[in-house]
Structure 1
Amino acid sequence: MDELRYQKQIRLKSFGRESQEKLASASVLIIGAGGLGTPAAQYLNGVGVGKIAIMDQDTVAESNLARQTLFTPEDVGKPKTDVLIQHLKRQNPSTHFTNIRKFLTPENALHELAGYDLIVDASDNFGTRYLVNDACVILDKPFIYGALHDFEGQVSVMNYQNGPTYRCLFPEGGDTSAILNCDENGVLGILPALIGTYQALEAVKVLTGIGELLSGKLLIIDTLAQTHLKVGLPVVPENQSIAALKNNYGQPMCSTDMDVTSLTSEEFWNKQEANRQQQVIDVRNEGEFEEGHLENALNIPLSQLTERHQEINEKAPVTLICQSGMRSLKAAQLLQSLHPEQVIYNVEGGMNALEAEGWV
């Protein structure tokens, strides 16, 4: 352990060398290398956590740069985990990093989470959060929850020493497709940095045993009013007895047996150039669509797809697109169940990728 590097922390009477050694021997898995994951990773790496794994399959988009400030314009199109870990290695060469360039699924969750002391949930959709929760309950691992909405952020410590779980906070695991995420609703770039840093702080407290944890408490931060509110979070006993993962959590990161073919932005654009009459469905909400869309695209928001799927010609191939490729993947999976014989394509990276390449 480099005591010179960590001398300011070691000097803290309530922290000291013992806590620093606990960090050095700890292992943390961060799920998501986006707005929450990048600051959480940066500060956990800075304070001396010995082993850090980062799990994500996404690539850097230009629209990420305002809030994921470790990425630069030169990184656009590159895997987020690759770029982030390269940066973190320069920040602290003594940390051992694991690059998990994949999304979390019910098939890999228990295996991927098993080897770590603590999980930081830096994902951005309900399905992945329920999957993280259920896997942590089965494996008896604590995890740090963080989420954003408009100008508000939330932080809590879940599943810690028989404490509340994510399902105690959000008991309904039904259809959340109509609830907007950052791509749809927008987010001020500073807010994810704040919440991700709070997640890192709670992670340090869990790993070292110092301070009062946000277990059984939900911290709500309103950045416009600059107010911090802590509310109690009760335990629901049945949420602590999950024995198996579900086959599908309805999140875009979830794999399925359905045959959905992905197109890179270049492959899609070549098809566009060859055939402007191809069937393209934009599954973003109406406001996003009005701000800018492909000239031949029909707008059917994901939340309306079940009711409006008959507007799609199921005898012809269809290509689905959204802002980042996540909602369109979920839409492709849903449409495949409704039109099992149809050829369905999903555009990887969505409009973000097309904009990054300068095609739109």
Structure 2
Amino acid sequence: MSGAPVLAPLVEPVAQLSREEVTRYARHLSLPEVGEIGQRRLRGARVLVIGAGGLGAPVLQYLGAAGIGHISVIDDDRVETSNLQRQILHRDADVGRPKVESARDALVRLDPHLSVEAIDDRLTPDNALSLFAAHDLVIDGADNFATRYLSNDAAELTDTPLVWGTIFRFEGQVSTFVPGHGPMLRDLFPDIPDADSVPSCAEGGVLGVLCGLVGSTMAAEAIKLICGIGEPLIGRLLRCDVLTTAFTTLRFSADPDRRAVTDLAEVTAACAAPAVTAAPPVAEATVAEVRDGSGGAVIVDVRESWERQIVSIPGSVHVPLAAIVASGWPALAEAVGGAADIVLHCRSGVRSATALEAAAPGAPAGVRLRSLAGGIEAWTAAAADDQQP
């Protein structure tokens, strides 16, 4: 140990294990640090997992396999084909289903005696406090800043331990926050960042196996807290880089000048703020305007070639973002053939806004450059609406 707070086990044990449970958890029972009493604590635990995606999937799998008595999972997303590369709790047959329903079914297949509540909803200031208070521990696998800070504040207000993790590209972070026993997320990162200050995994990518590494670490933190064993990551931030196989630990302490969390007012405002798809304002074209076709705009796809293989806008030309950022307007000039009205698009509007900023300074007078609002996601949604009876 290195001076970390010694915590009592988080959960009281159930009365006994069944014969089947003794067999199922035999490898845990052989561990002196866990043993029968620890396994009975796991069976008595109630854990809330926020998110059934990249981090939530491995967390749910390992907590379900470990014998957690009750797991609630909250997520309002649906399974997509692009999720399957890393969210291995879900199967191809689950595409289109609510993630929480797919996750519940997967956990019950793993352990028919496991109690699972699937909450097809988003964590909000309206439900956070009651959900946190109803569970012994919360694991935050959310993919946005507002929800992460909502989790922190709800944990502080309800005195609920919180295990936190993030992933991006090849790097991950994990820490554990126990109110009254160490620093919290706001001691480490005091202010809620802007929603678009870091690209999403959809925009920036993520190595699938990183999710398993970070999610398994988060599950291990939960097990340690429930059983009262080991040294949880309280006051420590674990950082991993799978490209270099480097693991580092940053120690941090509570900020004595930080105001205590007394309500959810700040995170309520952050959760209510509309999502921002492009940092500085840029000229935009709506899907309706472009689909109308009356302006004769040339549509330029700034995504990668492999993305166009999944779906593309008919008639669009391809000029990758990297080329436009490197060369500016000349990268577009040859592809658009002297067009005076050009609409750039990507998946959601973030990269096309960046491309517009790079190309606009060199564009000739009279050339109209716009970014497609909502990107190809908005385009395909509009096309799907047209096909509805």
TM-score by length of 1: 0.74
Which residue number in structure 2 is paired with residue 223 of structure 1? 242
| Residues 321/141 of structure 1: CA separation in 2 closer, same or farther (3 Å cut) | same
Which residue in 2 is equivalent to 1:32? Answer: 51
For structure 1, which runs of at least 5 residues remain unmatched after alignment? 259-269, 309-318, 325-346, 356-360
CA 221–54 in structure 1, closer or farther in 2 if over 3 Å, else same: same
Matching residue of 1:312 = none
Paired AA for residue 301 in structure 1: V
1:321 equivalent to 2:374? Answer: yes
Alignment of 1:158-237 (within 5 A): 158-237=177-256
Q: CA offset at residue 286 of structure 1?
A: 6.0
Structure with larger Rg: 2
Instruction: Tell me what 1:315 maps to.
Output: none
**Residue 95 of structure 1: how far off its partner (Å):** 1.3
Q: 1:225 to 1:10 in 2, by over 3 A?
A: same
Pick aligned residue for 2:151 from 97, 113, 132? 132
1:174 shift after superposition: 3.8
Query: Alpha-carbon deviations, 1:95-141, whole Å to 9, x = none?
Result: 11111110111222112222000000001111111111111111111
Q: Pick closer, same or farther for the CA change 1:239–1:201 going to 2, 3 Å.
A: farther
Deviation at 1:9, TM superposition (A): 0.5
From 338, 346, 350, the counterpart of 1:301: 350
User: Could you say what the CA RMSD is over the residues aligned between the two structures, in angstroms?
Assistant: 3.7
Deviations along 1:5-38, one digit per CA (max 9) or x if unpaired, are 1111011112111111111111000000001001
Whole-Å separation in 1 of the counterparts to 2:126 and 2:240: 34
Distance 2:382 2:255 in 1: 42
Cα deviation digits, residues 46-93 of structure 1 (max 9, x gap): 011101000000001111010011222221111000011101001011
Give yes or no for contact 1:177–1:302 (8 Å, CA) kept in 2. no
- CA distance, structure 2, for counterparts of residue 105 and residue 184 of structure 1: 25
CA distances 1:232-253 after superposition (whole Å, capped 9, x unpaired): 02112455720100265576xx
Given candidates 114, 130, 137, the residue that maps to 2:133 is 114
Superposed CA deviations along residues 260-309 of structure 1, whole A, max 9, x for unmatched, are xxxxxxxxxx989985669xxx9xx965799545459654539969xx9x
Within 2, Cα distance between the matches of 1:180 and 1:256? Answer: 17
Residues 352, 72 of structure 1: CA spacing in aligned structure 2 closer, same or farther, 3 A cutoff? farther
Q: State the distance in 1 between where 2:375 and 2:221 align.
A: 34
| Distance (Å, rounded) in 1 between the aligned partners of 2:100 and 2:92 | 16
SS in structure 2 opposite 1:179? coil
| 1:54 alignment counterpart | 73
Q: Aligned match of 1:15 in 34, 52, 63?
A: 34
After superposition, give the CA deviation of every residue in 1:168-226 in whole Å (9 maximum; x if it has no partner).
12112242413112111101110011100100000000111000111011111111111
Q: Structure 1 pair 162/72, CA: closer, same or farther in 2 (3 Å)? A: same
Between the aligned partners of 1:240 and 1:248, the Cα distance in structure 2 is 14
